[in-house]
């Protein structure tokens, strides 16, 4: 079997190139031999394009990557102008601007991920570089294998993956938008979604019966909150068997769907790749008959545990398997299925630390995909190939309808078949904030149809968090509320009347904006333009916009939102791009809703107030919001068709280009041109010309005819804008933020102390402050009266960290006191604290003075999986426990650290040695000591050598950190991460 690793001599140099696709696009390989050896492209919509050089001479790239090939790894580096800003990298958490970050493209079930998680559910080995002058370059490492994207050096892009693979550059072009358009010519554009899929979606794991589904749908209808889709998670199935229905809970899916359709609501159903390994189950039997399953390295059937228990997995790299799956989907759709949700398709496997199948498994792939390869080669594209098969099956079921598929796992190019969401996020403010750059990054990486689980999937939202998230989420391309089993209900009415009203306003906003959003999708499908983009796209030369994360562009709309719990949108100062930006709303402004601005020179088409996409909608009214530029002009476009099917490809659409011009105090609104054969609706036209400050002047007419509006005088405009601003401030001042009553962690009901807690024994006196991260701030050895621990509250002390690249001592920097024993009551002096570090994990610290050894101070630190979510197979994200005490140096010139290492050698380390990392054979053999020669005392730190992976020594001016690090691994309920250690002061005499 060819595993894709080419044995080669070490080599390095400039990559060779040839122009492909179109002007400004180049393919780079390490050599001509490597070009011939590269695997077929799975990212390109037409793989042959990557293999076909343009018959044009004299085209020279401006930037040529350099490479180094060592031990089967191909390392590629692209050096860019100083001051370049880096974006893209696909589905990633963390900040919008990616300089300083490193990620790995390896599709991972990342339940409860954090800002420093390095691999999520999708892989996009792609970087968008924006130069200081606004020109932009795109760089794609066209490999399906695990790929390191290293952006830690300024203005430098590095890729590392198994050799060989080509690198494709797009540009430099005059703008980042032009780069994305060029990328779409290679990887394809987003599929044209059915119009109903752009409304609001409601989901839960799970609505467990059809009666509950009907109840939720009826609630939306009766409360006047638009809902266009309800989702069915895995509990609709019979024992989690795909393509089946539970006969008791969902006895008649067709009847359920008919009832939903009567309410204007579509139904989407989940399908996972794990097929129950069970004789007699028709899906297993048919797949086995045609030998369609993934195999182990020894050619036997691979069986892995997922929801149904032992499962087999279709080998979607085989044409026969894709066709078989598509036919199953075709039959499944006949039950009234409107859309399909592909989950767990990284593929996720339970009861394994890697969370996926062995990389040595075998795929018998088609030759045009790369042929027979190990799972390490096809892992990152497995989800995309499943989504492709699902999409094709839905299309086979009804050629007159557009498929709608949502996939969790994907690869660059997945947008041709499926939408995506940002995975199993958390119900906290950090994840609300992260959702903005995450959706933007997906759009900058070729996947414009995405959004987060509004309100957060894992954990319990508060009214303010949920309402604020709904306000922002209603502006994203994909808009779905979703929550995990075991959490509180998270429907719009679940948090009280105030929150319900905010959610109603937010979803009604989205309903009115559907004409604009649908037009953006048509343009994205036709041309590759982004749906949602970072604020700096309005002015790529403006450096101060490059890292803005609290606003984004939805076409010509600028959406400005607050993700700060204590402050509403109106209390923040947003950085607006250059030019004219007119604030407006639908008389629905509220501190918990985003502020909307329309770019000068734009016309925004808006639907009726109560438009509900799934029902018969009003067609007798269209609104245009107009923001004139400094020259008194504006233009906009509206795409219309029947909202489904493929008639638009044969001309059955209407593309209307509206224009507005100011002349002699008259604004004339007209149609400059049209495209398509779709008949214009007979409807009135409601025109709003924005004046600034939220003020506007209105006029009415008939769509298709000129409308003229007389503008007020300059003084009248000033007065109207001032009055509107005053009304807005008054309205915002009277409105109150939704309540944000945070859930109390801990299991014994202790209140969080605002006073340092003391632990006192015969030899020790400690002070611990829960409210600044659970830090120990004072460690006094009573017999010698020596304070060993640093006493600065705000920065140092004894603390734990979780994670490697980012600090996470608790999202709130608070620990809950969950246990307190006192020596006076005859018990061991002890204190137990817990801090929530996200993802269902808590960091627990127990501090105690043993009754039978009062000279000892003992500490046990653990990362515990309190609730990591069944969807993750019971394992958390990758975590590392780092014990990080900061000790005071009373005599800095007279201290040293002494220890015997595992290999038996003796070590003395003094401050002049600088930072030291101790691991492997030179790791201290379970004990090291900080010695103060002036006092003749040593602080001995003993630890379990089986729990500690490395030790670190970091000297400060009058401090030293003696750190203990665990291994980095996921944890489950049964496998916590733990470091137990103890301190004792001894008299020492080294000489």
Q: How far apart are CA 176 and CA 196, in angstroms?
A: 30
Which residue shows structure tokens 């601005």?
A: 597
Report DSSP letters for 98-128, one per residue: -TT-EEEE-----TT--TT-S--SEE--EEE
Sign of CA dihedral 875, 878, 881, 886: negative
Catalytic residue among 343, 453, 641, 814, which?
343
In 3D, which of 692, 727, 685 has the Cα closest to residue 709?
Answer: 685
Under 8 Å between Cβ of 963 and 923: no
Burial class (CB in 10 A: 0-12, 13-18, 19+), 922: middle
Residue 610: CB partners within 8 Å, gap ≥ 6? Answer: 224, 226, 508, 511, 618
In 3D, which of 740, 301, 225 has the Cα closest to residue 504?
Answer: 225
Q: Tell me the C-alpha to C-alpha distance, in Å, between residue 131 and each of 87, 182, 304, 524, 530.
A: 11, 17, 47, 24, 19
End-to-end CA distance of the chain: 64
Helix axes of 429-444 and 463-473: crossing angle, nearest 10 degrees: 10
Helix axes of 319-333 and 282-289: crossing angle, nearest 10 degrees: 150
Residue 900 falls in the annotated catalytic set? no
Provide φ and ψ at 763, rounded to 5°: -110, -10
CB half-sphere exposure, 509, CA atoms < 13 A: 27
Residue 424 falls in the annotated catalytic set? yes
Distance of CA 375 to the CA centre of its chain: 25
Sign of CA dihedral 90, 91, 95, 98: negative
DSSP summary character for residue 734? H
Catalytic residue among 424, 501, 796, 984, which?
424
Q: Tell me the C-alpha to C-alpha distance, in Å, between residue 840 and each of 349, 479, 513, 561.
A: 19, 25, 36, 27
Q: How far apart are CA 125 and CA 105, in angstroms?
A: 7
DSSP summary character for residue 473? H
Residue 453 falls in the annotated catalytic set? no
Q: Tell me the C-alpha to C-alpha distance, in Å, between residue 603 and each of 476, 526, 661, 689.
A: 20, 20, 11, 9
| Residue 705 CB neighbours (<10 A) | 10
Which residue shows structure tokens 């610290």?
A: 845
Catalytic residue among 338, 346, 834, 932, which?
346
As annotated, the active-site residues are 343, 346, 424
């Amino acid at each position: 079997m060819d595993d894709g690793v080419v044995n080669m001599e070490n080599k390095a140099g400039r990559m060779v190139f040839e122009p492909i696709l179109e002007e400004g696009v180049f393919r780079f390989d390490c050599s001509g031999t490597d070009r011939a050896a590269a695997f077929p492209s799975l990212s390109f919509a037409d793989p042959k394009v990557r293999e076909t050089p343009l018959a044009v001479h004299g085209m020279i790239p401006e930037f040529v990557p350099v490479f180094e090939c060592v031990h089967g790894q191909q390392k590629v580096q692209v050096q860019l102008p100083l001051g370049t800003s880096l974006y893209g990298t696909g589905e990633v958490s963390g900040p919008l601007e990616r300089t300083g970050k490193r990620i790995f493209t390896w599709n991972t079930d990342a339940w409860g991920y954090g800002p420093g998680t390095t691999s999520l559910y999708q892989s996009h080995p792609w970087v968008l570089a924006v130069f200081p002058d606004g020109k932009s370059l795109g760089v794609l490492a066209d490999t399906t294998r695990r790929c390191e994207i290293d952006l830690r050096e300024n203005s430098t892009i590095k890729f590392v993956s198994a050799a060989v693979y080509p690198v494709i550059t797009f540009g430099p072009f005059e703008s980042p938008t032009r780069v994305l358009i060029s990328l779409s010519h290679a990887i394809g554009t987003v599929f044209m979604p059915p119009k109903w899929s752009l409304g609001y979606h409601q989901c839960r794991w799970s609505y467990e019966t059809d009666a509950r589904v009907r109840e939720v749908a009826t609630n939306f209808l009766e409360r006047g909150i638009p809902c266009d889709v309800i989702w069915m998670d895995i509990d609709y199935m019979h024992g989690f068997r795909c393509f089946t229905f539970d006969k008791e809970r969902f006895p008649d899916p067709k009847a359920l769907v008919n009832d939903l359709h009567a309410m204007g609501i579509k139904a989407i159903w989940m399908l996972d790749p794990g097929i129950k390994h069970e004789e007699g189950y028709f899906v297993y039997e048919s797949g086995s008959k045609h030998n369609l399953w993934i195999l182990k390295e020894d050619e036997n059937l691979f069986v892995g545990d997922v929801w149904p228990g032992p499962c087999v997995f279709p080998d979607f790299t085989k044409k026969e398997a894709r066709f078989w799956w598509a036919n199953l989907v075709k039959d499944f759709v006949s039950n009234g299925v409107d859309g399909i949700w592909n989950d767990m398709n990284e593929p996720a496997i339970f009861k394994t630390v890697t969370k996926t199948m062995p990389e040595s498994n075998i795929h018998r792939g088609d030759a045009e995909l790369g042929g027979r390869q190990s799972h390490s080669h096809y892992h990152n594209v497995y989800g995309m190939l499943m989504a492709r098969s699902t999409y094709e099956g839905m299309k086979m079921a009804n050629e007159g309808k557009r498929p709608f598929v949502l996939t969790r796992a994907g690869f660059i190019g997945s947008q041709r078949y499926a939408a995506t969401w940002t995975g199993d996020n958390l119900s906290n403010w950090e994840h609300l904030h992260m959702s903005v750059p995450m959706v933007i990054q997906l759009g900058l990486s070729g996947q414009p149809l995405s959004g987060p689980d509004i309100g957060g999937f894992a954990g319990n939202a508060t009214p303010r968090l949920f309402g604020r998230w709904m306000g922002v989420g209603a502006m994203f391309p994909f808009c779905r509320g979703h929550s995990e089993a075991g959490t509180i209900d998270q429907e719009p009415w679940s948090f009280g009347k105030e929150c319900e009203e905010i959610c109603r306003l937010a979803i009604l906003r989205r309903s009115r904006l559907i004409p604009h959003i649908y037009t953006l999708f048509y343009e994205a499908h036709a041309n590759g333009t982004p749906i949602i983009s970072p604020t700096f796209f309005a002015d790529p030369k403006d450096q101060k916009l490059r890292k803005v994360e609290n606003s984004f562009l939805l076409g010509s709309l600028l959406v400005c939102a607050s993700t700060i719990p204590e402050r509403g949108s109106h209390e923040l100062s947003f950085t607006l791009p250059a030019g004219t930006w007119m604030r407006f709303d639908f008389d629905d402004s509220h501190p918990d809703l985003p502020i909307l601005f329309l770019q000068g020179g734009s016309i925004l088409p808006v639907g009726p107030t109560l438009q509900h996409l799934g029902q018969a909608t009003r067609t007798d009214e269209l609104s245009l919001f107009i923001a004139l530029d400094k020259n008194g002009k504006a233009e906009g476009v509206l795409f219309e068709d029947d909202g489904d099917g493929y008639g638009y490809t044969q001309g059955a659409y209407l593309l209307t280009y509206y224009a507005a011009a100011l002349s002699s105090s008259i604004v004339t609104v007209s149609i400059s041109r049209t495209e398509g054969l779709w008949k214009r609706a007979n409807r009135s036209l409601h025109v709003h010309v924005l004046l600034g400050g939220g003020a506007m002047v209105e006029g009415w007419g008939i769509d298709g005819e000129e409308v003229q509006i007389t503008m007020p005088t300059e003084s009248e405009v000033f007065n109207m804008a001032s009055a509107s601003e005053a009304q807005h401030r008054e309205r915002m001042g009277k409105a109150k933020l939704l309540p944000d009553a945070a859930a109390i962690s801990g299991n014994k009901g202790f209140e969080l102390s605002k006073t340092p807690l003391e632990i006192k024994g015969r030899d020790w006196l400690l002070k611990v402050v829960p409210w600044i991260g659970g830090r120990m701030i004072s460690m006094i050895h009573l017999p010698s009266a020596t304070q060993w621990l640093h006493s600065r509250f705000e920065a140092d002390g004894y603390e734990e960290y979780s994670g490697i690249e980012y600090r996470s001592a608790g999202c709130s920097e608070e620990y809950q006191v969950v246990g307190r024993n006192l020596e006076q009551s005859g018990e061991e002096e002890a204190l137990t604290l817990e801090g929530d570090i996200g993802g269902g994990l808590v960091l627990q610290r127990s501090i105690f003075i043993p009754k039978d050894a009062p000279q000892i101070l003992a500490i046990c630190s653990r990362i515990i999986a309190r609730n990591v979510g069944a969807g993750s197979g019971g394992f958390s994200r990758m975590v590392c426990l780092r014990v990080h005490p900061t000790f005071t140096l009373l005599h800095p010139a007279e201290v040293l650290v002494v220890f015997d290492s595992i290999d038996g050698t003796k070590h003395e380390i003094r401050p002049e040695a600088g930072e030291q990392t101790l691991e492997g054979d030179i790791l201290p053999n379970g004990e090291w000591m900080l010695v103060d020669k002036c006092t003749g005392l040593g602080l001995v730190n003993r630890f379990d050598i089986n729990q500690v992976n490395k030790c670190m020594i970091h000297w400060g001016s009058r401090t030293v950190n003696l750190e203990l690090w665990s291994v980095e691994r996921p944890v489950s309920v049964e496998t916590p991460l733990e470091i137990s250690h103890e301190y004792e002061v001894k008299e020492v005499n080294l000489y």
